[in-house]
Structure 1
Amino acid sequence: MTIKRRPLLLAGLVAPAIARAQAGWRPDRPLRMIIPFAPGGSTDVIGRVVAETAGTLLGQPFVVENRAGGAAGLIGTDAVAKSAPDGHTILVNSNAHVVTPSLVARMPYDPAADFAAVAHLGRVPQVLVVNRNLPVTDLASLLTWLRANSGKINFASAGIGSANHLTSEVFRAAVPGVEMQMVQYRGGGPAMQAVISGDAHMAVDPVASAISHIRGGTVRAIAVAGPTRAAILAEVPSATEAGLPAFDNAAWFAAFVPVRTPAPAVAALNAAFNTAMERLRPRLGELGVEVQPQYATPEALMAFVRADMARSAAVLRAAGVQPE
């Protein structure tokens, strides 16, 4: 019943926004979509998929620009913060948007105060995987093994502040008394390879990129971080049902514009992105992206952003990460 109601909920939120947008702002030239990471990553792929349909709805194409550099996408995000607030420059970012203040001591912008939220572009669940030769088959046996090997465990991570790293730290905090060495790699791919080779015992990775390794038998999936199973990895239990509800975190993606962007422009962009997300739901599902209708309005999304910024800061402080 819940699955059937969610599209109706999103449709109910989107329809009034579309009506408002049609009566107001329309872009008068191609739109810039700045993605603050290199091409090929999850943020880039999701942004480009949604941009194509959203551009058609708005009557102007999106020109995607990858502006990688700086901690957690600092350079590209700052470029959007300082761009003209006319609705024609849009930032598509991940959790990195709220993590940056925990990594950078002198921020050139405020992730909440300097941006207006436009649309949530879905979440991608994270999955905990272990080396296939580890003598564990589920979360209970893994916890037993971890407690017996405290101080000897290498936990591969995809770089400080990444969604993988945050989820890894959430797991570490959920099993107090077990000492694990967090080993930082230059991305999720190298971290996964470390688990496959045995250089690391375990890692967290988005289900979309981990699924081929899990199905291929090169790593063993233990649990999906969160209360529910991942749609594309339905055979793997959630952490909550496996008995560790505190292990809950996922990667998320969203679109933003500079804070002084006129409300009619924000409404039109919000309607286009939400409609695109609904139309692309099956395709996004193949990428492991789960649409989140509860954040369909800019107000709901901004409340989520502020809450996640505080939560992420607490996780990183507890892990000993200090801004530099």
Structure 2
Amino acid sequence: MPTRRSTLALALAGGIAPSLARGQSAPAWRPTRPIRLIVPFAPSGSNDIVGRILAESVGAALGQPVVVENRAGAGSVIGAEHAARSPADGYTVLINSAQAAVPAIVARLPYDTIRDFVGIAVAGFSPHVLVVSNSLPARTAGELVALLRANPGRYNFASAGIGSGVHVAGELFRSTSNFQAEMVHYRGGGPAVAALVSGEAQFGTPTMASSIGQIRGGGIRALAVAAAERSPALPDVPSAPEAGVPGLIFEEFFPILAPAGTPPAAVAALGAAFQTAIRQNADKLGELAGVRPRAGYETPEQVMALVQSGIQQYTSILRAAGVQPE
């Protein structure tokens, strides 16, 4: 025969159980077909390298392959617009280190950098590198600056496209070191580095991810890492202050985004899968791309706040360099 205490316990359990069941029965989102990871640059650039490092692990976590799709052009605008206009169903994501740079230099974008996207994760941060073609005699950053000042407009700077982080880093270098040079915009970091290797362009500030292989292999010469301290990925390359260019402090970050309106359950599942992949591949990201994950970007709001602060930073750099949006 039930006691008063057991009756009360049963009554409480009966009242609580439905709410627990509701919380536990909400199904987690699981994809039923492959997911597209849009890279808005040509293959072999930093976004492409980082995206491909993560894609396999993300696919394993979600049970569906993640297919990298390169849609290069206009400094990432073509690929970013495609991602923004894709169905908001969880099957399209974008990795774009130029997401914050483009609004600072392109006056009329066909999408809104903030409102048309939702944050998924941040793959990490990586400094740019000041490099020269092997055909150039400069062996230090000081020698390069002296050469550029003595020959205004003679040498070509290799950019990854208008509005790319490489473009912004180049404008920062130009304004803080006070020289004139021709800026040539290629269709991504990979083609820009290839131009440096061939000697078509003479110097640049590529991302570490897109240039580290050629630096280690001797295809191009690194004069400085655009950071306050040396990078573990290139320990023999001096930091910007050590190299005598203390104003050249610039790093890129890799936000992973989905179209605005993507269901919260899909955003949560994608976020968890990408964050797990970032942790699992931290050593590979550092070794192959010079990318270091950083805590504090686990929610959609934190990811988009980082993009917003990046827009402000890049706008400040470009206006100080006298560059206005076009």
Taking structure 2 as the reference length, what is the TM-score of the superposition?
0.78
CA distance change for structure 1 residues 21 and 128 in 2, over 3 Å: closer, same or farther?
A: farther
Out of 206-215 and 24-33, give the one that drifted further: 206-215
Q: Report what 2:167 is aligned to.
A: 165
Q: Secondary structure at the match of 1:118?
A: strand
Q: After TM superposition, give the deviation of residue 216 of structure 1 in Å.
A: 4.7
- Per-residue CA deviation, residues 209-244 of structure 1 (Å, 9 max, x unaligned), is 434444454543211001222222111111134443
CA distance change for structure 1 residues 182 and 274 in 2, over 3 Å: closer, same or farther?
A: same
Q: After TM superposition, give the deviation of residue 156 of structure 1 in Å.
A: 1.3
Q: Secondary structure at the match of 2:121?
A: strand
1:287 equivalent in alignment to 2:291 = no
Q: Report what 1:228 is aligned to.
A: 229
CA distance in 1 between partners of 2:31 and 2:149 (Å): 64
Instruction: Assess if the C-alpha contact under 8 Å between 1:36 and 1:93 holds in 2.
Output: yes
Instruction: Assess if the C-alpha contact under 8 Å between 2:158 and 2:196 holds in 1.
Output: no
1:56 equivalent in alignment to 2:56 = no
Q: After TM superposition, give the deviation of residue 25 of structure 1 in Å.
A: 2.8
CA distance in 2 between partners of 1:109 and 1:39 (Å): 24
CA distance in 2 between partners of 1:40 and 1:141 (Å): 29
Q: Report what 1:272 is aligned to.
A: 273
Q: Report what 2:4 is aligned to.
A: none
CA distance change for structure 1 residues 140 and 322 in 2, over 3 Å: closer, same or farther?
A: closer
AA aligned to 2:293 is V
CA distance in 2 between partners of 1:114 and 1:42 (Å): 23
CA distance change for structure 1 residues 319 and 54 in 2, over 3 Å: closer, same or farther?
A: same
CA distance change for structure 1 residues 318 and 150 in 2, over 3 Å: closer, same or farther?
A: farther
AA aligned to 1:166 is V
Q: Secondary structure at the match of 1:121?
A: strand
CA distance in 2 between partners of 1:224 and 1:196 (Å): 18
**Larger Rg: 1 or 2?**
2
Q: After TM superposition, give the deviation of residue 39 of structure 1 in Å.
A: 3.6
Partner residue of 1:128 out of 127, 130, 150: 130
Q: Report what 2:316 is aligned to.
A: 314
Instruction: Assess if the C-alpha contact under 8 Å between 1:72 and 1:99 holds in 2.
Output: no
Q: Secondary structure at the match of 2:131?
A: strand
Instruction: Assess if the C-alpha contact under 8 Å between 1:232 and 1:286 holds in 2.
Output: yes
Q: Report what 2:18 is aligned to.
A: none
Q: Report what 1:6 is aligned to.
A: none
Q: After TM superposition, give the deviation of residue 266 of structure 1 in Å.
A: 1.9
CA distance in 1 between partners of 2:79 and 2:185 (Å): 22
Instruction: Assess if the C-alpha contact under 8 Å between 2:138 and 2:147 holds in 1.
Output: no
Q: After TM superposition, give the deviation of residue 282 of structure 1 in Å.
A: 2.0
CA distance change for structure 1 residues 196 and 59 in 2, over 3 Å: closer, same or farther?
A: closer
AA aligned to 2:80 is T
Q: Report what 2:76 is aligned to.
A: 73
CA distance in 1 between partners of 2:302 and 2:26 (Å): 23
CA distance change for structure 1 residues 59 and 295 in 2, over 3 Å: closer, same or farther?
A: same
Q: Secondary structure at the match of 1:290?
A: coil
1:42 equivalent in alignment to 2:43 = no
- List alignment gaps of at least 5 residues for structure 1: 1-19
Taking structure 1 as the reference length, what is the TM-score of the superposition?
0.79
Q: Report what 1:117 is aligned to.
A: 119
CA distance in 2 between partners of 1:321 and 1:74 (Å): 19
Q: After TM superposition, give the deviation of residue 208 of structure 1 in Å.
A: 3.8
Instruction: Assess if the C-alpha contact under 8 Å between 1:21 and 1:267 holds in 2.
Output: no
Q: Report what 1:260 is aligned to.
A: 261
Partner residue of 1:92 out of 70, 77, 95: 95
AA aligned to 2:233 is I
CA distance in 2 between partners of 1:248 and 1:282 (Å): 24
Q: After TM superposition, give the deviation of residue 110 of structure 1 in Å.
A: 0.5
- Per-residue CA deviation, residues 254-307 of structure 1 (Å, 9 max, x unaligned), is 211122223333222111111101111122223222222243433322111001
CA distance in 1 between partners of 2:179 and 2:57 (Å): 47
CA distance in 1 between partners of 2:240 and 2:26 (Å): 46
Number of aligned residue pairs: 300
RMSD over aligned CA atoms reads 3.1
Out of 235-244 and 267-276, give the one that drifted further: 235-244
CA distance change for structure 1 residues 220 and 53 in 2, over 3 Å: closer, same or farther?
A: closer
Q: After TM superposition, give the deviation of residue 142 of structure 1 in Å.
A: 4.5
